[in-house]
Each structure stands twice: as C-alpha cells, then as structure tokens.
Amino acid sequence: MLNPFPENFLFGVGSSDHQCEAYDPAFEDIRDVWDRLHGNYSRRRATDFWVRFPEDIRHAASLGCKLFRFSVSWARVEPSPGEFSAEALAHYREVVDEIVHNDMEPLVTLHHFTWPVHIQERGGMLAKEFPERFRLYAQKTAETLGAKVAYWITFNEPTILAYGYLKPWWERNYFFPPGLPGGTSGFEQITAVATLMRNLFLAHTEARAAIRELNPAAKVGSNPSLLGLPTWLQKLIDRNATRLSRVEDLERVASQLTKRPFLAAGKVDLVVATLTATKSREEKIHLSEAYFVSVASLLLSCGSKIRNAGNLAQERVAVLKSTTTQEKFSSLLPFSIPEVFGKRRDALAALDAGVVCAFLSDHAILSGIVSESSGKYRLINLESDGQEYVAGMAKGHPLFTETVDRAIRDFKKSGAWAKSVEQHLPDAAKTMLPQDRQRYTLALGEDGRTGGGPLPPAPQGTLLRHIQDRGYLKAGVNRDVPGFGFSKRENGQIYGLEIDLAHEIARVIFGDRNKVRFYPVKTSQRIKWVCPVLRFVDPIFKFLTVFRSLLSTNWWHLGMAGKLPEFLCPRECVGKEDFVGLDYYWGLSVLQPWKIFGFIQSMSKGRFDLAPVWPRGLRARLKHYSRLLPGKELIVVENGCVDQAGGIDRGTYLRKHIREVQKAYHDGVPVSKYVAWSITTNVEWGNAPAPCCDFGLFRIALETDPYLKRQETSSAAEYREIIRLRTAELRPLAVRSSTE
C-alpha cells in the first residue's frame, strides 16, 4: 500500500470568474461578446459567485480543502483603459479574506480565458503594448490583494488560447475568441499564433516581476492543458516546436495546419439546394452565410377540413427524407404519423391521393408549390423562428468557403437578392433579409472584395485554384422547387433564387456569371455530393496535421525550459515561473487517432461524458515535467470529471487520478498540491447546463432553481474522505458501502 500524503500536501478546489459570476452589461468581457455572436448559451446569473462566494468557500472548507482557486475578472477591475475599479478590487480582497478566514490558501488566476472588450479593441493579446497593459493590471490587483496571496497564475491554459487565432483545415470557425478577419491566410494565422506566444511569455514575465516586487515570497506560474498521450508520442510531438529556429519555419507549420494534405472535392463544388443550417450538418460539411430564412409549414389540399396542427393527431403526414423537417417532425407534430418520401413529387402525389393528410416542409418551398398550383393547395405555418438556407461545401478548403461567403454578402447587399426574391418568390418578397452570421470572428471588418473583375489566381493545390483552372463552377441545385430551383417545361432551363446566387458566385470567381454548370441534386444527396469519396481517411490526416504541428506541444513549459527559439520565447522569459502548473483531464494509453478526434468533436459540443479516461497519463506527465524543469514545485491546477466519463463516475475518476498523484509523489516527484475542478456546477463556456458538461462537486440546477441551491454530490463526499484519510489507495468504506 502507498503511504498517505504528508500534512503539507494541499488539496483544493477551483472556480473561474466568467463561469461563476453573473453577467453585468457594465462589465462585459470578450467571452460575452463571443457567445452572443455565436448564439451560444450565455452565462446569465451563472452561479452568482460574486454574491455567494462565502457559501462556496465554506463548502470547500467542509471538504477539508486547504486551497481555493478563483480568478479575477479583468473586465471588472479595469472597466475602461487605465481606470481601475476600487470597488471591484475591494470585492476580490473580501474573497481572499474569506478564504483565509476558512483556513485555506488562495490561488489567484489573473486571466481565465477572457479579457476586457477595450483590450481587444486596441489589438488584444497581439498588440505590442499588451505585455505592459497586463503588467499594470497584475500590479494593481497585487497591490490590493497583498501578501495574503502566495500563489498566482497569470494565464489559464495559455496553450488553448492559440486556437483563437488559427483554424485547422477541417474547421469552419475558430474554437475560441477572438478569431481573425475573413481572408486571413494560413501563414498570417500561424504568425499571429507566434506573436501571441511571445506576448504571453513577455506579459507573464512582467506580471511576475510586478507581483514579486510587492511580495518577494509570491510564487507565480501558469497551467497549460495537457492531453494524456503515450510518452514516446509526446516527446516526438514536442520536437516539432524545439526544431523551429527562425520565423520562416512557420511557413511549413502553417501549410500543415491550414491546407488539406491532398485536394479532395466531391461530385460538385457546392450545393445550393434549400439546405438548412444545422449543427449535425456542420459536422460533415462547411456551411456558408445564409441567403434565405424560412419556417416549417404544412401543405394541405384546399378542400381539407384540417385547420390547425391539433387536427392531425394520429393522421399520416408526408415529410422528405434527409431534411430538417424530418429531424424536427416529432417536436412539430408529436401526435402525427410520419410518412417519409425520397422525392417531393411522390409526397405531393400521396397528398393528392389522400394517402396522407398533409405535407410538412419549409414555408418557402411550399409557397412556391402553392403559387404553381392555381388554387389547389393552402398552407398552415407551424413556427415563428426562421431556418436559414445556406450553401454546403466540402471541409478543408477555407479559401473557397470564404469566397462563397463574400459572394453571398455581395448578393444580399447589392440589391440582387431583393430583385431575385421579388421575381421568383413574390409571396415571400417581404421576408427577412438574412443577416451575415459574424459567427467566426470578433475582428472588426472584413477584407472581402466586392464587384470588379475575376479573382486573381488562387495558390496552387487549393480547390479554388482547381475551379479556376477548370474554367467553371459546378453547383448542385434543385430543379423541382418553384422559386429556388425550378425547370420550366417549355425550355428546360432552371430558374430561381438559388440559380441567381450560383451565377453571382461564378461572377465573383471568374468575373463572368455564366461560368457555372448546374447538376440537379436529390434532397438525400445534398451532403454526399460535396463530400470527397476518400473522406474516411480524414481522421488519419487530422491526426497527422495536429501532431506534426506546433499547437499539439506543451510549448509553455518548453519555453520555460529554454527549448524554444528566441522569436517565440525571449531569453529573458526562460525559467521565469516559480512552479510548474498543469491541467489534466483526459488521455489515451494507445495511439487511436479516431478516438482523439471523436473526443475533440464531442468536447466542442460539451459532451465531456464521451471523453477517454486514462489516469496513469497524469503520473506520466508529472514525471515528464519534473525532469524537464528540475527543482520546480509541481501543482495539479485542474483535474476533474463530469457525472460519468469513460465508463466511470466522478468519484471513481477522482480517486484513480489522485492515486496516480500519490504514486508520483512517492516516486520523488515534487508535486505539492492537487486542485479538483470544480467546486460547483459552472457555465461551461457557451454550453447549456447538462450532466455531460457539469464538473461540480456541488450541483446547482442553473436553469430551474431560482435559489441556485448548492447540493452536495456523492463525489464530494468521496473527495472529503480522500482528503481526511490523505490517501486514494483504497475507496473509503463509507462511500463504497453506499455505491457498490
């Protein structure tokens, strides 16, 4: 059996400002803006930690914790440039005092994934002045919190911040704020990442100096997030960063990350065929800006006695396969029976024959059928919120995707959209003009072109260049949807709003609107036709892309160890951290690329319950970084789990990981602290509250409980017993008897 942890080993819990403090429009931070632009879940009241921090701190003390981590909101402390709020600083001094009063040590984070809007407006973290601005903020905070804070974290998970400036070739959007303007090249993206890295090192070093000038005993560090991988693989990956010697080497990195390894396209370049934007579709293909908004409606024969959806209980209703309305059928018509058809004409024939009582589809599509039917049909609308129609394109071709976006914006802003709607969809002429999504960047302005002649030749090896060399655009369109894509019998030509849009995209690419060929596509084929035939090898190429690149390394600690080139980590920053912090959640003991990227996709949707769990990876990381940075104190700054992940519950997860920390300690690794994430349910970065993204030891029903009551979980009880016994070697009997 392992010996218990010594008394000076500290257990703790953590929280963060944006995830726990209520939203206040007077102190909006950059993440608030990002979530609003993306349509993400907003933090609202969050856990109301600003008011209820004494309660959460007491809960932490009740577990036996001796360390409490929280973060300071920069947006509250510096609400406008150079003006610091005495009230906000006094509040955080109260938080520190409460922690100390409860016999715990505070661990303060200065930058937890968010920053003031005014900082971003002045260039954000890429600005030359950023290190000095961060130093001043750190100094003002340290002046108020004083000698009561011995441990500081400058930047939470700095390695993750890089994904706000770079999009891998298969992603449509940036993972994190702030994003970069449309049209930013791969080299410009990786150069921005290099600037970010350098600025973070400089800002950390200057903030550390300011804090230690006020309190020489203070210890300042950071906590990069680590994915547990086989040690041989991690060492191989880290070589990618240490082998960089000059700025020019970034061109190779940019090419690996932002350019698909091979030219892969589908049967058509894009589909413009009443394709509605959904998250499930966005996982398979890239979706453009919206060019139309419609709602779900019912098509009925004029002689039908049905007057509302309630009259359709237990009645058969037609719906098309592979459509949004098929996905939403049970919510729109919960008491009706779906009859699924592959073709629109078959659904109409069933309606005419009385086989079904109605046909469920989009209003815009059905209104075109009504206008063509000379009084044969009528409509009943079922929704008030609109569905966006978008163009669909294969993943991995950002230059072509951005060109299509610019063409759609031109189409809407030039007046051509309104003219086309009036001509082809007179019944929808007053429909809402779809707004630009602005969903992938906080950057002001776009560098897209409008009007003029053809685009200059795109870089070799890109889909856009392939299309330019071919000499025409291949567009998959409807030919049986009046108003959008409809073939008239008298001449066989296809007319409609989407046909006009495809011509506009050709004009932007070639300077000639006629350089487009149309390929009628079935509803069920719309996704397949733009996906490359060899898409099944994408997980392998994604794996090679990420793990051959700079971003998969723990570049923060490599820089502190002096193993990065000076243009990324200046010499004066090397070794300027007083402890080695790390965050560890998930890992894989065996190289399985498909699982890694399946997890990344799940994580982006807040499905942490699908994450791979590998406790031993934590011990491997602790040993690795104790060798990389010898003599430094190690701290597990974050480790935690949702209710269930990897087939185990949160209590088992904590016990298994703490046991690995215990083993590392007895192997001689100087790890001194372990912090469980998190003390309560938090708003998990734009994800709606759900068990699959709830890391709280104390559960809060954020959406249903107006009192935000903290309820202790069984995992909190297990953590308390581990702390009391100071070992995770055996599951505490009191807990084991109630769960096994």
Q: Which of 591, 403, 421 is nearest to 498 (CA)?
A: 421
Phi, psi values for residue 487, rounded to 5°: -95, 120
Strand arrangement, sheet containing 105-111: 219-223, 151-156, 105-111, 67-71, 10-14, 671-677, 633-639, 579-587, 225-228
Question: Is 60 exceeded by the pLDDT of residue 274?
Answer: yes
Question: Is 50 exceeded by the pLDDT of residue 59?
Answer: yes
Q: Which of 288, 242, 258 is nearest to 188 (CA)?
A: 258
Burial annotation 670-700 (CB, 10 A radius, 16+ → b, else e) = bbbbbbbbbbbbbbbbbbebbebbbbbbbbb
Please give the Cα distance from 334 to 313 (Å, whole number): 8
Question: What is the per-residue pLDDT across 376-422, written as a single tens digit (0 to 9) for each?
Answer: 999 888 866 678 899 999 988 888 998 999 999 999 999 999 999 98
**Do 577 and 632 contact (CB within 8 A), yes or no?**
yes
According to DSSP, residue 41 is labeled: P
- For tokens 């008030």, the residue is 384
Provide the whole-model pTM: 0.85
Please give the Cα distance from 259 to 168 (Å, whole number): 8
- For tokens 């302005």, the residue is 445
**Do 725 and 735 contact (CB within 8 A), yes or no?**
no
Return the pLDDT at 450: 43
Peptide bond into 294 cis (omega under 30): no
Q: What number does CATH give the domain 10-225+636-739?
A: 3.20.20.80
Return the pLDDT at 605: 66
Domain range list for the chain: 10-225+636-739, 270-292+387-533, 296-381
Alpha-helical (H) ranges within 146-284 are: 158-161, 186-214, 231-242, 250-258, 279-282
Burial category of 534 from C-beta neighbours within 10 Å (exposed 0-12, middle 13-18, buried 19 and up): exposed
Q: How many angstroms from the chain centroid is the CA of residue 378?
A: 42
Return the pLDDT at 739: 38
Same fold, 10-225+636-739 and 296-381: no
The pLDDT mean for the chain works out to 88
Return the pLDDT at 172: 79
Please give the Cα distance from 226 to 234 (Å, whole number): 10
Burial category of 630 from C-beta neighbours within 10 Å (exposed 0-12, middle 13-18, buried 19 and up): exposed
How many Cβ atoms sit within 10 Å of the Cβ of residue 239?
Answer: 10
Return the pLDDT at 475: 97
Alpha-helical (H) ranges within 450-515 are: 463-470, 497-510
Question: Is 60 exceeded by the pLDDT of residue 55?
Answer: yes
Query: For 82-96, 395-409, 564-578, 589-603, which range has the lowest pLDDT when averaged over its residues?
Result: 589-603
For residue 11, what are the β-bridge partners? 674
Return the pLDDT at 601: 61
Return the pLDDT at 448: 42
Please give the Cα distance from 118 to 79 (Å, whole number): 8
Given CATH 3.40.190.10, say whether it is the number of domain 296-381: yes
Question: Is 80 exceeded by the pLDDT of residue 589?
Answer: no
What is the share, in percent, of the chain residues with pLDDT greater than 70? 88
Please give the Cα distance from 64 to 343 (Å, whole number): 65
Return the pLDDT at 738: 39
Question: What is the per-residue pLDDT across 43-54, written as a single tens digit (0 to 9) for each?
Answer: 999 999 999 999
Residues 479-496 have a mean pLDDT of 84
Please give the Cα distance from 114 to 137 (Å, whole number): 14
Q: What number does CATH give the domain 270-292+387-533?
A: 3.40.190
Q: How many CA atoms lie within 13 A of 224 on its CB side?
A: 23
Consecutive H or E run containing 722: helix 714-725
Burial category of 425 from C-beta neighbours within 10 Å (exposed 0-12, middle 13-18, buried 19 and up): buried
